[in-house]
Protein backbone atom coordinates (compact mmCIF):
# COMPACT_ATOMS: atom_id res chain seq x y z
CA UNK A 1 0.00 0.00 0.00
CA UNK A 2 1.47 3.35 -0.99
CA UNK A 3 0.97 6.70 0.73
CA UNK A 4 -1.26 7.82 -2.12
CA UNK A 5 -3.67 4.88 -1.84
CA UNK A 6 -7.11 6.02 -0.72
CA UNK A 7 -7.23 2.78 1.29
CA UNK A 8 -4.57 4.22 3.61
CA UNK A 9 -7.25 6.65 4.84
CA UNK A 10 -9.95 6.02 7.45
CA UNK A 11 -12.77 5.83 4.88
CA UNK A 12 -15.66 3.36 4.83
CA UNK A 13 -15.48 0.44 2.42
CA UNK A 14 -18.46 1.97 0.57
CA UNK A 15 -16.57 5.21 -0.08
CA UNK A 16 -13.46 3.28 -1.15
CA UNK A 17 -15.60 1.25 -3.52
CA UNK A 18 -17.09 4.41 -5.06
CA UNK A 19 -13.59 5.89 -5.54
CA UNK A 20 -12.58 2.67 -7.22
CA UNK A 21 -15.67 2.68 -9.46
CA UNK A 22 -14.95 6.31 -10.46
CA UNK A 23 -11.37 5.27 -11.28
CA UNK A 24 -9.86 7.50 -8.66
CA UNK A 25 -7.00 5.05 -8.31
CA UNK A 26 -4.58 7.24 -6.33
CA UNK A 27 -4.76 10.48 -4.38
CA UNK A 28 -3.56 13.59 -6.16
CA UNK A 29 -0.76 15.45 -4.31
CA UNK A 30 -3.09 17.97 -2.66
CA UNK A 31 -5.41 15.14 -1.59
CA UNK A 32 -2.51 13.14 -0.14
CA UNK A 33 -1.30 16.16 1.80
CA UNK A 34 -4.65 17.35 3.11
CA UNK A 35 -6.94 14.34 3.54
CA UNK A 36 -5.29 12.75 6.60
CA UNK A 37 -5.70 16.03 8.53
CA UNK A 38 -9.17 16.70 7.11
CA UNK A 39 -10.35 13.24 8.21
CA UNK A 40 -8.70 13.78 11.58
CA UNK A 41 -10.94 16.79 12.18
CA UNK A 42 -8.29 19.49 11.82
CA UNK A 43 -8.73 22.90 10.23
CA UNK A 44 -6.83 22.97 6.93
CA UNK A 45 -5.76 25.65 4.45
CA UNK A 46 -4.94 24.01 1.14
CA UNK A 47 -3.47 25.75 -1.87
CA UNK A 48 -3.01 24.09 -5.24
CA UNK A 49 -3.67 25.07 -8.81
CA UNK A 50 -6.94 24.54 -10.64
CA UNK A 51 -7.55 20.95 -11.70
CA UNK A 52 -5.53 19.40 -8.86
CA UNK A 53 -8.46 17.63 -7.21
CA UNK A 54 -9.31 20.00 -4.38
CA UNK A 55 -13.04 19.24 -4.54
CA UNK A 56 -12.65 15.58 -3.57
CA UNK A 57 -10.29 16.60 -0.76
CA UNK A 58 -13.09 18.41 1.04
CA UNK A 59 -15.99 16.31 -0.34
CA UNK A 60 -14.53 13.15 1.22
CA UNK A 61 -14.12 15.04 4.50
CA UNK A 62 -17.77 16.08 4.38
CA UNK A 63 -19.00 12.58 3.48
CA UNK A 64 -16.86 10.83 6.10
CA UNK A 65 -18.27 13.09 8.80
CA UNK A 66 -21.89 13.01 7.66
CA UNK A 67 -24.54 11.25 9.71
CA UNK A 68 -27.20 10.56 7.06
CA UNK A 69 -29.74 9.57 9.71
CA UNK A 70 -29.66 13.09 11.12
CA UNK A 71 -31.60 15.12 8.59
CA UNK A 72 -30.08 18.48 9.54
CA UNK A 73 -27.63 20.79 7.80
CA UNK A 74 -24.23 19.39 8.77
CA UNK A 75 -21.95 20.91 6.11
CA UNK A 76 -21.81 24.16 4.20
CA UNK A 77 -19.61 24.80 1.16
CA UNK A 78 -19.27 28.38 -0.09
CA UNK A 79 -18.15 28.96 -3.69
CA UNK A 80 -17.66 32.12 -5.76
CA UNK A 81 -20.08 31.32 -8.60
CA UNK A 82 -23.18 29.33 -9.38
CA UNK A 83 -21.31 27.20 -11.94
CA UNK A 84 -18.70 26.21 -9.39
CA UNK A 85 -21.32 25.52 -6.72
CA UNK A 86 -23.16 23.23 -9.11
CA UNK A 87 -19.93 21.38 -9.98
CA UNK A 88 -19.11 20.94 -6.31
CA UNK A 89 -22.61 19.66 -5.50
CA UNK A 90 -22.31 17.21 -8.39
CA UNK A 91 -18.96 15.89 -7.14
CA UNK A 92 -20.33 15.45 -3.61
CA UNK A 93 -23.33 13.54 -5.00
CA UNK A 94 -21.07 11.36 -7.14
CA UNK A 95 -18.73 10.51 -4.31
CA UNK A 96 -21.63 10.06 -1.89
CA UNK A 97 -23.74 7.82 -4.07
CA UNK A 98 -23.20 4.72 -1.91
CA UNK A 99 -24.74 6.49 1.09
CA UNK A 100 -28.36 6.55 0.14
CA UNK A 101 -30.63 9.53 0.58
CA UNK A 102 -27.98 12.19 1.01
CA UNK A 103 -29.61 15.52 0.29
CA UNK A 104 -27.29 18.13 -1.23
CA UNK A 105 -28.92 21.48 -1.91
CA UNK A 106 -27.45 24.33 -3.97
CA UNK A 107 -28.26 27.92 -3.01
CA UNK A 108 -27.11 30.34 -5.68
CA UNK A 109 -28.15 33.63 -7.16
CA UNK A 110 -29.62 33.81 -10.65
CA UNK A 111 -32.50 31.48 -9.83
CA UNK A 112 -35.65 32.46 -7.94
CA UNK A 113 -35.34 32.21 -4.16
CA UNK A 114 -38.75 30.67 -3.67
CA UNK A 115 -37.79 27.21 -4.98
CA UNK A 116 -34.75 27.20 -2.72
CA UNK A 117 -36.93 28.27 0.18
CA UNK A 118 -39.23 25.31 -0.42
CA UNK A 119 -36.26 22.95 -0.63
CA UNK A 120 -34.85 24.36 2.61
CA UNK A 121 -38.18 23.68 4.28
CA UNK A 122 -37.91 20.05 3.16
CA UNK A 123 -34.44 19.82 4.67
CA UNK A 124 -30.90 18.99 3.57
CA UNK A 125 -27.67 17.47 4.88
CA UNK A 126 -25.26 19.56 2.82
CA UNK A 127 -25.62 23.10 1.46
CA UNK A 128 -23.47 24.37 -1.40
CA UNK A 129 -23.91 27.98 -2.37
CA UNK A 130 -22.68 31.43 -3.19
CA UNK A 131 -22.21 33.84 -0.26
CA UNK A 132 -24.83 36.42 -1.29
CA UNK A 133 -27.69 33.96 -1.62
CA UNK A 134 -26.75 31.91 1.44
CA UNK A 135 -26.65 35.09 3.53
CA UNK A 136 -30.01 36.13 2.12
CA UNK A 137 -31.65 32.85 3.23
CA UNK A 138 -29.89 33.04 6.57
CA UNK A 139 -31.17 36.56 7.24
CA UNK A 140 -34.69 35.39 6.37
CA UNK A 141 -34.20 32.69 9.04
CA UNK A 142 -34.62 29.87 6.56
CA UNK A 143 -31.37 28.11 7.51
CA UNK A 144 -30.48 26.53 10.84
CA UNK A 145 -26.76 26.06 11.35
CA UNK A 146 -27.00 24.78 14.94
CA UNK A 147 -25.81 21.29 13.87
CA UNK A 148 -23.25 22.46 11.33
CA UNK A 149 -19.95 20.66 11.91
CA UNK A 150 -18.08 21.44 8.68
CA UNK A 151 -17.56 24.71 6.83
CA UNK A 152 -15.66 24.83 3.53
CA UNK A 153 -14.54 27.93 1.69
CA UNK A 154 -13.77 26.84 -1.87
CA UNK A 155 -11.83 29.15 -4.18
CA UNK A 156 -11.43 31.54 -1.28
CA UNK A 157 -9.13 33.80 -3.30
CA UNK A 158 -11.83 34.36 -5.92
CA UNK A 159 -14.51 34.96 -3.30
CA UNK A 160 -12.35 37.72 -1.80
CA UNK A 161 -11.63 39.16 -5.27
CA UNK A 162 -15.37 39.31 -5.89
CA UNK A 163 -15.93 41.33 -2.73
CA UNK A 164 -17.63 38.63 -0.65
CA UNK A 165 -15.54 39.26 2.46
CA UNK A 166 -18.34 40.85 4.52
CA UNK A 167 -20.90 38.25 3.45
CA UNK A 168 -18.47 35.47 4.40
CA UNK A 169 -17.92 36.97 7.83
CA UNK A 170 -21.64 37.34 8.44
CA UNK A 171 -22.32 33.73 7.43
CA UNK A 172 -19.42 32.34 9.44
CA UNK A 173 -20.55 34.21 12.55
CA UNK A 174 -23.85 32.29 12.37
CA UNK A 175 -22.10 28.88 12.50
CA UNK A 176 -21.04 27.02 15.66
CA UNK A 177 -17.51 27.72 16.85
CA UNK A 178 -17.00 23.98 17.35
CA UNK A 179 -17.10 23.44 13.58
CA UNK A 180 -14.20 22.18 11.46
CA UNK A 181 -13.16 24.76 8.84
CA UNK A 182 -11.43 24.05 5.53
CA UNK A 183 -10.17 26.68 3.12
CA UNK A 184 -9.20 25.87 -0.46
CA UNK A 185 -7.58 28.27 -2.86
CA UNK A 186 -5.57 28.35 -6.08
CA UNK A 187 -3.49 31.30 -4.87
CA UNK A 188 -2.55 32.57 -1.45
CA UNK A 189 -2.74 36.37 -1.23
CA UNK A 190 -2.25 38.09 2.16
CA UNK A 191 -6.01 38.68 2.58
CA UNK A 192 -6.52 34.92 2.78
CA UNK A 193 -4.13 34.63 5.69
CA UNK A 194 -6.04 37.44 7.40
CA UNK A 195 -9.40 35.78 6.81
CA UNK A 196 -8.08 32.40 7.91
CA UNK A 197 -6.63 33.87 11.09
CA UNK A 198 -10.05 35.13 12.10
CA UNK A 199 -11.95 31.91 11.48
CA UNK A 200 -9.65 28.92 11.89
CA UNK A 201 -8.00 27.23 14.82
CA UNK A 202 -4.33 26.32 14.39
CA UNK A 203 -4.86 25.35 10.77
CA UNK A 204 -2.56 22.99 8.95
CA UNK A 205 -1.26 24.72 5.82
CA UNK A 206 -0.55 22.61 2.77
CA UNK A 207 0.69 23.88 -0.57
CA UNK A 208 1.35 22.00 -3.75
CA UNK A 209 3.61 24.11 -5.92
CA UNK A 210 2.83 23.91 -9.60
CA UNK A 211 5.77 22.82 -11.68
CA UNK A 212 6.32 25.65 -14.15
P1 LIG B 1 -9.71 21.77 -8.46
O2 LIG B 1 -10.86 22.04 -7.56
O3 LIG B 1 -8.41 21.63 -7.74
O4 LIG B 1 -9.62 22.76 -9.59
P5 LIG B 1 -11.22 19.44 -9.22
O6 LIG B 1 -11.59 19.01 -7.87
O7 LIG B 1 -12.27 20.12 -10.03
O8 LIG B 1 -9.93 20.37 -9.18
O9 LIG B 1 -10.66 18.14 -9.99
C10 LIG B 1 -10.28 18.13 -11.33
C11 LIG B 1 -10.65 16.81 -11.98
O12 LIG B 1 -9.87 15.74 -11.44
C13 LIG B 1 -12.09 16.40 -11.80
O14 LIG B 1 -12.60 15.99 -13.03
C15 LIG B 1 -12.06 15.25 -10.81
O16 LIG B 1 -13.10 14.34 -11.05
C17 LIG B 1 -10.71 14.64 -11.09
N18 LIG B 1 -10.08 13.98 -9.91
C19 LIG B 1 -10.00 14.48 -8.66
N20 LIG B 1 -9.33 13.64 -7.85
C21 LIG B 1 -8.97 12.58 -8.60
C22 LIG B 1 -8.24 11.37 -8.33
N23 LIG B 1 -7.74 11.10 -7.12
N24 LIG B 1 -8.05 10.49 -9.35
C25 LIG B 1 -8.56 10.78 -10.58
N26 LIG B 1 -9.23 11.88 -10.90
C27 LIG B 1 -9.44 12.79 -9.93
MG1 LIG C 1 -12.08 23.67 -7.29
Domain boundaries, the chain: 6-207
What radius of gyration, in Å, describes the C-alpha atoms of the chain? 16
Q: What number is the average pLDDT over the span 30-44? A: 98
% pLDDT > 90, the chain: 93
Q: What number is the average pLDDT over the span 57-78? A: 98
In CATH, what number does 6-207 get? 3.40.50.300
Tell me: the pLDDT tens digits for 149-161? 999 999 999 999 9
Which are the contacts of 86, defined by CB distance < 8 A and separation ≥ 6?
A: 106, 108, 128
Q: What number is the average pLDDT over the span 161-168? A: 96
Report the pLDDT value the prediction gives residue 211, as an integer from 0 to 100: 63
Q: What number is the average pLDDT over the span 94-113? A: 95
Evaluate whether ipTM surpasses 0.85: yes
pLDDT at 96 over 70: yes
Atom of ligand 1 nearest to the CA of 26: 23
Pocket around ligand 1 at a 6 A CB cut-off: 24, 27-28, 31, 48, 50-56
Confidence of residue 2 (pLDDT cuts 50, 70, 90): confident
pLDDT at 212 over 80: no
Residue 209 vs residue 147, higher pLDDT? 147
User: How many other CB atoms sit within 10 Å of the CB of residue 116?
Assistant: 21
Confidence of residue 1 (pLDDT cuts 50, 70, 90): low
Residue nearest ligand 1's atom 20 by CA: 53
Atom of ligand 1 nearest to the CA of 49: 3
**Do residues 53 and 212 lie in contact, with contact meaning Cβ atoms separated by under 8 Å?**
no
Share the mean pLDDT of the chain: 96
Ligand 1 centroid to Cα of residue 24, in Å, is 9
Report the pLDDT value the prediction gives residue 87, as an integer from 0 to 100: 98
Residue nearest ligand 1's atom 10 by CA: 51
Confidence of residue 66 (pLDDT cuts 50, 70, 90): very high
Which are the contacts of 49, defined by CB distance < 8 A and separation ≥ 6?
A: 186, 208, 210
Confidence of residue 105 (pLDDT cuts 50, 70, 90): very high
Amino acid sequence: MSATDFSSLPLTSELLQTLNDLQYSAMTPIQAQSLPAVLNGQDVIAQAKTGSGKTAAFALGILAKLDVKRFRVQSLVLCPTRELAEQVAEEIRRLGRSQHNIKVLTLCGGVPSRFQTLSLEHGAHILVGTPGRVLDHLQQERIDFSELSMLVLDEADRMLDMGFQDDLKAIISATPESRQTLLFSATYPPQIEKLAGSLMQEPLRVTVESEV
